[in-house]
């Protein structure tokens, strides 16, 4: 570079620094400015020889990250200084001790957390992204600002990715969608979350991104005309009330448009709520709520509201601190439009998240809000001893889920994810309450533990010292905290029963002249179609494998060698063949996702998974779901680059599966008909009935029965037998 170019660059760096101080959201004291100046000088010195891929001086990156932290997120001087220094220890000769000595323990701790995230160890057996996510969240133990600065760092990287090779762009964009956007959402950084999603789409699906972007650009004039028409209608009424306000129109994000197009299976033109209108008003704290409802009243005087689309986040703020009144009204030209009513304070919180929320609080109150949020995250981390992919799937469910608000019997308000059950509520109150749950009342009425709660429900948990978790509870609980606690108790209980079962089994096999060793254990696991030796010992411990069954095994075990050598005479199978046969016998069906759905799939050729292998599904563009082994050579690449296309998968033993089916029967009403039907179902076929409903009308009858069967063949046989009953005219499965 020429001397003139160097001087010009230095002038630009100085300008950026002054801009950083000017746009800071927090009021900076002289000491704050001194701290930021020192951090700036160290960062300039540390990065003086470094350049980014685009060719510009590296120092522009930490300054840009600090500007995001200072202005868009609105954090304090310590955070701004830490942002300026975030790459110093990782990329230069400065050490953590140097930072500690120059800037104190807090800044050093934050910089250390940021450096740790960058140096995460690679583990070839699990998704790198998932492990990054878990380890990053563990840094919350140190300081929440670590995560917030990391989000700002990722945001700036996403804004400046054009000079990177395409494969890196796709990888970083996928990771951003997988990790950073959900975190930004959870912290209440809605603007940055939206930007991260849009930028991710720009690199993962550029054609889709550009198509929607162009259509938004083309319709800008129409949008503005619509917003002006809407504003004009209510403007006079708002002014008459002496309100001080502004009305803004905001187009929905490109990413959210894409989501709507997919979810509703519509084109861009067919989306009915493309933008939202915000009414932001000035108010003192005492009148905020009163004025919000006054504005609501004026808007709904002019435009008909959709009653099911009212969201009152003022009376019950989101756990991120977000407050606003959302209504959807039928606007001009017969179009639905979302109207968001916020005070200036609420608007700041919506834009800046936690930083703005605590600007309006003092002393201990400032810290409490972040403490509450940190505690929620910590609960999910407490039992993070599952594999990283499962952990992330479960954790993200709770991060992204919408909230409901329910009441305790004393009227205290509790926030839970949408879809939560009374069991989730019990564990939310306290772990011990969850562990001792015997039943639940919702709005004074006794309900099953798997009932889905709704906002406004009042929930009472009935406890008993004799109650304890059982395996069914995993079907009833949806939150990460409840599921982790239940799994932990069931594991410990199972181990304890299994230890007793192992000794019982040793004695019973000894009486059959068989030793309990690795060979006999493996043969028994295979014989009883189980997954592990722990399952075997546990079933013996609870008595579901009894003396008669053990004798059956002993008989087959003593004949095993004869059978083995006979088979060997026909063909000499490899150990792999034997293992394959045993595994295939045990696990013959593949299911996907948390709901264990049966979906169409293909086994990938690169790793040739067989029944019993640990696997995952990958949603390919042209071939549907491709199934790979978890240790497949391509697994890391797929999970890092296309994490949003990964779905969990596992093999199950279909003979252990049971399915619910509804059968409808019609015919002529005969005396004793119901008795004949139940006899066929329960006594002859030995099928479980869940529900039974019969009605008669003018000598004919109609009956509906819910049965539980193992497979379609049993159901077919059952319907055939029912058709043979005198008087039944038709039997159909719904």
Q: Choosing from 16, 19, 91, 653, which is the catalytic residue? A: 91
Nearest Cα residue to 91 out of 42, 129, 56: 42
Sequence-distant (≥ 6) Cβ neighbours of residue 510 within 8 angstroms: 516
Please measure the distance between the N-terminal and C-terminal CA atoms of the chain and give it in whole angstroms: 77
Residue 526 has which token pair?
A: 């295979």
Query: Burial level of 426, CB count in 10 A (0-12/13-18/19+)?
Result: buried
Q: Choosing from 90, 500, 582, 596, which is the catalytic residue? A: 90
Residue 133 has which token pair?
A: 């996510």
Q: Is 529 left (phi over 0), alpha (psi -120 to 50) or beta?
A: left
Torsion angle of C-alpha atoms 172, 174, 178, 183, degrees rounded to 10: 50
- Residue 160 CA to residue 55 CA, distance in Å, equals 12
Judged by DSSP in three states, 127 sits in coil
| Four-residue CA torsion sign, 352, 354, 357, 363 | negative
Torsion angle of C-alpha atoms 22, 27, 29, 34, degrees rounded to 10: -40
77-84 and 144-159 helices cross at what angle (nearest 10)? 50
562 strand-pairing partners: none
Residue 665 has which token pair?
A: 């029967």
**Contact criterion met (CB below 8 Å) for 183 and 175:** no
| Four-residue CA torsion sign, 57, 63, 68, 69 | positive
Going from the C-alpha of 24 to that of each of 28, 63, 110, 355, 663, the distances in angstroms are 8, 12, 20, 12, 67
Q: Name the strand (E) or helix (H) holding 650.
A: strand 646-652
- Residue 59 CA to residue 87 CA, distance in Å, equals 10
Going from the C-alpha of 449 to that of each of 178, 406, 424, 458, 617, the distances in angstroms are 32, 15, 9, 14, 31
Residue 136 has which token pair?
A: 């990053």
Q: Is 419 left (phi over 0), alpha (psi -120 to 50) or beta?
A: left
462 strand-pairing partners: 439
Residue 312 has which token pair?
A: 């009152």
- Would you call 91 a catalytic residue per the annotation? yes
Torsion angle of C-alpha atoms 56, 58, 60, 65, degrees rounded to 10: 140
> Would you give the DSSP letter of residue 451?
P
Among the residues of 188-248, which ranges form H helices?
A: 190-204, 206-218, 220-240
User: Per DSSP, which regions of 431-477 are E strands?
Assistant: 437-442, 445-447, 459-463
**Contact criterion met (CB below 8 Å) for 136 and 117:** yes
**Contact criterion met (CB below 8 Å) for 381 and 133:** no
Nearest Cα residue to 129 out of 181, 90, 66, 93: 181
- Would you call 273 a catalytic residue per the annotation? no
Active site residues: 90-91
């Amino acid at each position: 570079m020429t001397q003139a170019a160097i001087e010009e660059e230095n002038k630009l760096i100085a300008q950026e620094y002054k801009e950083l101080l000017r746009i800071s959201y927090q009021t900076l004291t002289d000491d704050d400015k001194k701290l930021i100046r020192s951090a700036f000088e160290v960062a300039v010195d540390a990065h003086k020889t470094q350049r980014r891929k685009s060719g510009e001086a590296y120092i522009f990156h930490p300054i840009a990250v600090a500007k995001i932290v200072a202005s868009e997120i609105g954090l304090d001087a310590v955070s701004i200084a830490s942002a300026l220094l975030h790459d110093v220890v990782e990329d230069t000769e400065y050490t953590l001790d140097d930072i500690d000595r120059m800037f104190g323990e807090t800044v050093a701790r934050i910089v250390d957390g940021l450096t740790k995230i960058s140096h995460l160890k690679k583990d070839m057996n699990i998704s790198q992204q998932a492990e990054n996510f878990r380890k990053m969240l563990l840094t919350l133990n140190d300081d929440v600002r670590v995560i917030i600065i990391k989000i700002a760092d990722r945001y700036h990287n996403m804004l400046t990715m054009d000079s990177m090779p395409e494969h890196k762009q796709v990888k970083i964009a996928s990771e951003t969608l997988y990790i950073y956007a959900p975190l930004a959402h959870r912290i209440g950084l809605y603007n940055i979350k939206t930007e991260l999603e849009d930028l991710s789409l720009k690199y993962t699906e550029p054609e889709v991104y550009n198509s929607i972007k162009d259509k938004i650009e083309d319709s800008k004039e129409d949008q503005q005309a619509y917003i002006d028409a809407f504003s004009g209608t209510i403007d006079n009424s708002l002014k008459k009330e002496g309100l001080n306000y502004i009305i803004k129109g905001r187009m929905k994000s490109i990413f959210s448009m894409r989501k709507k197009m997919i979810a509703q299976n519509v084109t861009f033109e067919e989306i009915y709520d493309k933008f939202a209108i915000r009414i932001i008003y000035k108010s003192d704290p005492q009148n905020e709520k009163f004025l919000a409802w006054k504005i609501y009243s004026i808007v709904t005087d002019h435009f008909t509201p959709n009653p099911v689309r009212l969201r009152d986040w003022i009376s019950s703020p989101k756990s991120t601190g977000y407050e606003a009144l959302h209504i959807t009204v039928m606007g001009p030209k017969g179009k639905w439009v979302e109207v968001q009513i916020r005070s200036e304070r609420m608007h700041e919180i919506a834009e800046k998240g936690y930083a703005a929320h605590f600007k309006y609080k003092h002393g201990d109150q400032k810290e409490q809000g972040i403490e509450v949020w940190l505690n929620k995250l910590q609960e999910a981390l407490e039992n993070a001893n599952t594999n990283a992919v499962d952990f992330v799937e479960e954790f993200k469910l709770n991060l992204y889920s919408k909230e409901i608000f329910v009441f305790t019997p004393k009227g205290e308000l509790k926030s839970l994810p949408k879809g939560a059950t009374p069991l989730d509520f019990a564990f939310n109150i306290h772990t011990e309450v969850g562990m001792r749950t015997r039943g639940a009342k919702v709005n004074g009425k006794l309900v099953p533990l798997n009932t889905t709660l709704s906002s406004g429900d009042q929930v009472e948990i009935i406890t008993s010292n004799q109650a304890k978790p059982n395996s069914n509870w995993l079907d009833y609980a949806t939150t990460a905290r409840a599921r982790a606690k239940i799994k932990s108790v069931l594991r410990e209980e199972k181990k304890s029963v299994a230890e007793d079962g192992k000794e019982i089994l040793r004695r019973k096999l000894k009486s059959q002249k068989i030793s309990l060793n690795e060979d006999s254990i493996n043969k028994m696991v295979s014989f009883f179609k189980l997954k592990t030796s722990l399952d075997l010992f546990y079933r013996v411990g609870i008595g579901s494998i009894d003396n008669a069954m053990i004798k059956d095994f002993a008989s087959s075990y003593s004949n095993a060698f004869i059978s083995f050598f006979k088979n060997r005479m026909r063909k000499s199978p490899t150990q792999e063949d034997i293992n394959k046969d045993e595994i295939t016998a045990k696990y013959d069906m593949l299911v996907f996702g948390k709901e264990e759905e049966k979906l169409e799939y293909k086994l990938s050729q690169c790793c040739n998974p067989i029944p019993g292998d640990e696997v995952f599904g990958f949603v390919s563009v042209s071939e549907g779901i491709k199934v790979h082994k978890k240790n497949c050579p391509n697994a890391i690449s797929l999970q890092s680059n296309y994490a949003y296309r990964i779905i969990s998968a596992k093999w199950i033993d279909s003979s252990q599966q049971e399915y619910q089916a509804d059968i409808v029967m019609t015919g002529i009403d005969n005396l004793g008909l119901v008795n004949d039907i139940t006899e066929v179902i329960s006594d002859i076929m030995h099928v479980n009935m869940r529900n039974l409903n019969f009605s008669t009308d003018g000598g004919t009858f109609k009956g509906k029965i819910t049965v539980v069967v193992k497979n379609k063949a049993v159901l077919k046989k059952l319907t055939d037998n029912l058709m043979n009953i005198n008087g039944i005219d038709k039997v159909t499965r719904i």
